[in-house]
Amino acid sequence: MYLRRIFIGAFCVFFAFNAYAGGDPDYVKYPKGYQESFTNYATMNRNGKEQVAKMYANEVAISSYGKDQKASAGSVIVMEVYKPKKDADGKAVEGSDGHYEIDKLAAVAVLERRDSWDDSYPADHRLDGWGFAIYKPDGSLKPNKLDCVGCHAALGDQDFLFTHQQLVDFVKSD
């Protein structure tokens, strides 16, 4: 019985750390109603993945990229990640626009920029003011093993965003 409790306790501790590896929903909240209040600035196939991404930015991000091409505090970027439809061979079906045809929403990733974060938010879970979190389509926590900071860290010259140029181009064309 004692060993069983130790095992269960160790499992819970391990799971708790892994559940938040892809972001920190305690700090970066799911922005309810973003589809209506944010601007959809890009839709694309994700590089190297059979996924479609729809990118949204709030008004703070849109206006700050229009001024100096770096996000101001209060900027929020949302990426909806979709699974594509598959053909009989299991390959993603491409639509006439070059994007995979969407089957269903799989996840919602949220990036939020602040001037400062609560000291309890681990510094190695955020990047130059950006915080990260990943949610299920219903807005509940999506446990995962992604390293958001690790992937975004190489993009310092793009304000740590994979879609920086798409956002800047969208703002310039609007």
Q: Does domain 2-173 have CATH number 3.50.70.20?
A: yes
Task: Tell me, rounded to whole angstroms, the distance of Cα 131 from its chain centroid.
Answer: 10
pTM of the model: 0.84
Q: Each residue of 93-125: pLDDT tens digit? A: 999 999 999 999 999 999 999 999 999 999 989
63, 172 contact by CB (below 8 A)? no
Distances 70 to 39, 65, 102 between C-alpha atoms, Å: 17, 5, 31
Name the more confident of 45 and 144.
45
For residue 89, is pLDDT > 90? yes
Mean pLDDT of 15-42: 79
35, 17 contact by CB (below 8 A)? no
Look at residues 139, 145, 143, 120 and name the one whose alpha carbon lies nearest to residue 131: 120
Average pLDDT of the chain? Answer: 86
| pLDDT at position 145 | 80
For residue 9, is pLDDT > 80? no
Domain ranges of the chain: 2-173
